[in-house]
Amino acid sequence: MVRVILPDDSQLEFDRPVTGLEVAERIGPRLARQALAVRLDGELRDLATVIDADSRVQIVTHQSDPEAALDLLRHSCAHVMAEAVCRLFPEAQLVYGPTVENGFYYDIDLDRPIRPEDFPAIEAQMDQIVQADEPFRRREMDRQAALAKLRAEGNRYKIDNAGRAAGDTLSFYVTGADPNGRFEDLCRGPHLPSTGRIGAFKIMSIAGAYYRGDAREKMLQRVYGTAFPDKKQLAAYLNQLEEAKKRDHRVLGRQMDLFSFQEEGPGFAFFHPKGMIIWNEMVDYWRQVNRRAGYQEVRTPIILNEQLWHQSGHWDNYKENMYFTRIDEVDYAVKPMNCPGGCLIYKNRPHSYRELPLRVAELGLVHRHEASGVLHGLLRVRQFTQDDAHIYCRADQIESEVVAVMDLAFEIYRTFGLTDIRLELSTMPEKHIGTEDIWNQATDALKGALEHKKIDYALNPGDGAFYGPKIDFHVRDCIGRSWQLGTIQLDFSMPERFDLTYVDRDNSEKRPVMIHRAILGSLERFLGILIEHYAGAFPLWLAPEQVRVMPISEKTNEYARQVLNRLQEANLRCTIDQADDKINAKIKRAHDQRVPYMLIVGPSEAQSDTVTVRTRGRKDQQKWPVGQFIQIAAQDIARRRLDRVDSAG
């Protein structure tokens, strides 16, 4: 007898082993129709799995367990796509086909390139397979037999996969009506009961991907697809992608005339006047809070003697990313980081323990030779400005300093309305300087700070800077890609290399610890993220143009100019639209340019010394005395208020 315990703790009894489907049928026909898989004692398994011992069973449906159901669906769809590709290209070798955040991909080794124009043919084959509603059948073999079978078939990737799979039993999935199946793939599973349960799918893109992510390995073809329970959800997802494209900072940057890139300087941004306004507002704010947090500011040269970079370790660990030049027969390097220059300032005079922690900030312009294929608008460039700082302190001050930097970072992010931030702790990479002991000590200090703050974080092993472990702050762009903003890096090595010292209370020379930190990260990247975050609708304090005065006709141009003067005297960034257009056209233009406030003036306003205020993102408008409008706007700017005008974030 088999006893099955359901999630509500009720029990079902069967006089023989049963499948998940039979359990669902016993509960009800509707559940049986919706059932996609089972959780056996919490573990996700095929619906056809035979339950031969007492266990807890949960029937997985789109309703009961949407995440697992979607994952099953997508993974099964990856198989269907793989089969479709193999039908069209029998010489294709399948490699690996997992689900990813918004769909799935399958890596395929095929000498003929798969092109976007092949997608309809692949999708047509997939349609056939789905229409046929064929069962996915699991076939288990012991490891020896499975390996023998795979060797006979000669797919080196699957042999490799099988070799790395855990356990003594390997599984294959078969689709196709006849018992031997038509299509079979080594796979851990589980799957949907049958191909017909895949709702709506679409092949999205094709990309090269190195086998096992190793650039020395063969480049495979990675076909990306997505799938949803029904057409409506697929359409909603595609629509969401379209919407995301509209807030892409590269599109908005051009439309709003904020910045540009030119062929003459790939990866080097050109900032236009409106972009510079936002930039300068960011910097003003940054200076203000950093000063308050006890930072001093310095500025170090962009080009420094190559010898310095040997001393710092950058030559050995970072030279692939550096630019070099010669001046008067002497070798120089363009700085990729600010720390060595900062160390030279520190060394310029002796320091007392009384000065520590010494917090030194720098808006440092760095150059890094990034691979051409990774450049991406403002988010990945070859020249950028870090809001860097180096904190020189004693070991016992590390934790409180790191905590203070985290507090400062969250305060700054909050000012910009960024609240969806993820933290990562990165540990010692292969290429590094300093002993393992020092690394452990530094890593523990960072962990201590995180735990002290009770902040959730992900561990990112082996991803630290070459000189120390780090805590990174990440935020997502509008299409879901994650970008690093701030970073806090602990460094015991640079002080050693540069022989940095301070004189302690007992008159002995001691070695300070260095904390490298950036909060905005790169001003370029941060601006890019902000553009996407606000969808171009910047809050008043950041908006390149804060107010636009719009006369109804030429008859009120004179009054409009008087209003403009008063706005200018109040330091508001404002323009006047005197074009020979109807007010509708002016409003449309101002909306397109995302101007926060439109002040509409006609004869009636001129008579009463008022303006009709139309606020971005709203249709209603109010008539206000000019002075009152100026007062409210000035106050919102001073407070860096985010919410009075609609910011799309």
The residues annotated as belonging to the active site are 339, 368, 386, 388, 390, 470, 516
Rounded to whole angstroms, the Cα distance separating 542 from 37 reads 51
Rounded to whole angstroms, the Cα distance separating 549 from 567 reads 9
Among 45, 138, 380, 548, binds RNA (CB under 7 A): 380
Q: Which region, judged by CB under 7 A, interacts with RNA, from 4-12, 87-95, 323-331, 602-610?
A: 602-610
Q: Which of residues 136-195 bind RNA (CB under 7 A)?
A: none
Amino acid at 325: T
Among 131, 144, 604, 631, binds RNA (CB under 7 A): 604
Q: Which of residues 14-33 bind RNA (CB under 7 A)?
A: none
Q: Which region, judged by CB under 7 A, interacts with RNA, from 57-65, 326-334, 495-503, 550-558?
A: 550-558
Among 546, 612, 637, 645, binds RNA (CB under 7 A): 612
Q: Which region, judged by CB under 7 A, interacts with RNA, from 149-157, 183-191, 215-223, 396-404?
A: 215-223
| Beta strand pairing call for 383-393 and 358-367 | antiparallel
Among 126, 174, 206, 645, binds RNA (CB under 7 A): 206
Q: Is 566 helix (H, G, I), strand (E, B) or coil?
A: helix
Number of residues that this document lists for the chain: 649
Rounded to whole angstroms, the Cα distance separating 126 from 85 reads 9
Nearer to RNA, 77 or 645 (CB): 645
Q: Which of residues 384-403 bind RNA (CB under 7 A)?
A: 384, 386
Q: How far is the CB of 439 from RNA (least distance, A)?
A: 16
Q: Are 537 and 252 in contact (CB under 8 A)?
A: no
Q: How far is the CB of 429 from RNA (least distance, A)?
A: 7
Among 175, 195, 221, 647, binds RNA (CB under 7 A): 221
Q: Which of residues 505-544 bind RNA (CB under 7 A)?
A: 518, 521-522, 524-525
Among 39, 138, 202, 222, binds RNA (CB under 7 A): 222
Q: Are 464 and 424 in contact (CB under 8 A)?
A: no
What is the distance between the terminal CA atoms of the chain, rounded to a whole angstrom? 58
The backbone torsions φ and ψ at residue 507, rounded to the nearest 5 degrees and listed phi first, read: 70, 10
Cα distances (angstroms) measured from residue 416 to each of 452, 520, 523, 526: 25, 11, 13, 10
Q: Which region, judged by CB under 7 A, interacts with RNA, from 31-39, 339-347, 441-449, 588-596?
A: 588-596
Nearer to RNA, 222 or 274 (CB): 222
Rounded to whole angstroms, the Cα distance separating 249 from 186 reads 42
Amino acid at 646: D
User: What mask of x and - would describe binding to RNA in positions 310 to 339, judged by CB under 7 A?
Assistant: ------------------------------
Nearer to RNA, 99 or 487 (CB): 487
Q: How far is the CB of 197 from RNA (least distance, A)?
A: 28
Q: How far is the CB of 335 from RNA (least distance, A)?
A: 13
Cα distances (angstroms) measured from residue 638 to each of 156, 284, 628, 632, 634: 64, 12, 15, 10, 6
Among 72, 425, 485, 547, binds RNA (CB under 7 A): 485
Q: Is 96 helix (H, G, I), strand (E, B) or coil?
A: strand
Residue with tokens 């400005």: 385
Q: Is 408 helix (H, G, I), strand (E, B) or coil?
A: helix
Among 229, 417, 448, 602, binds RNA (CB under 7 A): 602
Q: Which of residues 75-114 bind RNA (CB under 7 A)?
A: 113
Nearer to RNA, 233 or 321 (CB): 321
Quick check: 377 binds RNA (CB under 7 A)?
yes
Q: How far is the CB of 55 from RNA (least distance, A)?
A: 38
What is the size of the binding site for RNA (CB under 7 A)?
A: 76
Q: Which of residues 229-288 bind RNA (CB under 7 A)?
A: 250, 254, 261, 263, 266-267
| DSSP tag of 506 | T
Query: Among candidates 55, 58, 9, 17, which has minimal Cα distance to 38?
Result: 58
Rounded to whole angstroms, the Cα distance separating 168 from 162 reads 10
Among 25, 109, 123, 463, binds RNA (CB under 7 A): 463
Among 16, 178, 619, 638, binds RNA (CB under 7 A): 619
Neighbour order of strands in the sheet with 597-601 = 574-576, 547-551, 597-601, 610-615, 621-625
Q: At what angle do helices 626-638 and 557-569 cross, to 10 degrees?
A: 40
